[in-house]
Chains A and B, each alone.
Chain A
């Protein structure tokens, strides 16, 4: 099972920063997101492009997590040579993350 089956996500950009919100379709799955989408795991997924660990915010009222990614100065939205300068596709990279099936939650 991958994250996309229980959550949706949206990526946004602000200069060097990209945020990815991850929102549980069902409120009952929110604790699973909190438990499995750790700072370590999400940082590892994007490590090649980051200058520091991701920052994670929990918003239970929206059954959502918000991750902030710090990119290199040459990868800011107005400087990046990438085809996806904004990082708009990164939400789908996160949604492809496998979930551990036998989660204690």
Chain B
């Protein structure tokens, strides 16, 4: 029986590289997938590309490719990744250069284009109850492409496929579609395949990352967490595992947490390929760190592609200062009230002043059900954090200046605030917000370009 062995080499742009190298060397993989493109990253990459047309792909492309290309070439493992970000063609050209330097003659690299749909803005439709942004505020727009586009790229025979915006599970489903030549209306199979892709797309989150809670959920050797791989059968059922000797854990608990991660309605997980139903899915622990998954189902895919629309969101200023020892809370509160007064004339669109250690994360009523907190002891160390958004669409430079002024007001607390303030950090950044949208399928045309190392 034919199977596909596929590994997850990254679950986000800053992910660790060593576990991917281990998978490339020891995994005997057909495919190694790197999911590296967060919601906002594509928009920031588009802006980088506008400043320099040779950029706009993932800055970690080079170190990742250098680390895994030799082993992948040796074992015939094909690489799939959305590290192309806003510029898959430049990413492919860079990968060719890297492969040339590594002496990988004949390596073929494909780039998938067509997700950038900014030119079709008049055709955009709102997503659920989210209003579409004003067209003058739209900076970027990318459609989430599906498994069919990945299969199209693999059909060229490429050893490496680099894409921009693709639905995360579809990176995996595309490899299955290419291998097994499934009907693209086989909704149950695509639903199960999407479950497998969804389980793998965050890499270490399936094998014990984002999971450990000492005394409740202990994870062995999290410091050398291994990334997952799957052996997928033609019916899209799969054995999930990780390499022997790696740290982490892969069991029913990690699988149940990850299948529901970033899922809203578990009976209708929408991708460009299918409306997957995870409620029918079954996990079976076969042995230590080996889980079988089957039984997810599906219904017809959505009529539209989902969009990630980047919009102007002004400047975000952030600054922090700490107070410690007796009276830390009173001094932090005094600093907070001083700041509120000193920042008033800057007219931030939104301002937060939080006391970390007191209410910054869960809010003032931090105890559930409104019952008094178990301990009323004052924390001995508190960090005051000021964060604000400044927006002036007609004069963005003025908004940026006001943001910088906030950071100076926090810094001045050293000399002009309560006693013992320490450890100030601050930053100002231009913010691009992402809002969802939809676009009719016929507005999107995908193309594949194949390059080869001479």
Spell out A's residues near B (CB within 8 Å).
4, 8-10, 12-17, 19, 21, 23, 25, 44-45, 48-49, 55, 57, 59, 61-64, 66, 68, 74, 76-79, 81-84, 89, 93, 96-98
Contact = CB atoms under 8 A, between A and B. Distances in A.
Contacts, number: 127
Interface in B301-348: 313, 316, 318
Grouping DSSP codes into helix (H, G, I), strand (E, B) and loop, the A interface class, with mixed when no group exceeds half, is: mixed
Contact of B261 (A10, A62, A89): A10
Grouping DSSP codes into helix (H, G, I), strand (E, B) and loop, the B interface class, with mixed when no group exceeds half, is: mixed
Return the 10 tightest CB-CB contacts between A and B, nearest first: A12-B262, A21-B260, A81-B387, A10-B257, A12-B261, A78-B434, A78-B433, A81-B352, A79-B433, A97-B368
Contacts of A9: 257
Contacts of A57: 265-267
Contacts of B261: 10, 12, 19, 21
B33 interface: no
Which of B210, B279, B388 is the most central at the interface, judged by chain A CB atoms within 10 Å of its CB? B279
B264 A19 contact: yes
A15 B360 contact: no
Given A14-B262, A78-B40, 16 more contacts: A10-B211, A15-B435, A16-B130, A21-B263, A49-B363, A55-B264, A57-B265, A62-B260, A62-B278, A77-B39, A78-B313, A81-B387, A82-B361, A83-B360, A83-B361, A89-B361
Interface of B: 39-40, 130, 210-211, 213, 216-217, 253, 256-267, 278-283, 313, 316, 318, 350-352, 354, 356, 360-363, 365, 367-369, 371, 385, 387-389, 431-436
A59 B210 CA distance: 21
A19 B262 contact: yes
Contacts of B217: 8
A17 B371 contact: no
B280 A19 contact: no
Nearest to B387: A81
Contacts of A82: 352, 354, 360-361, 387
B361 A61 contact: no
Nearest to A16: B130
A83 B436 CA distance: 23
Nearest to B131: A73
A9 B283 CA distance: 17
Contacts of A84: 361
Contacts of A78: 39-40, 313, 431-434
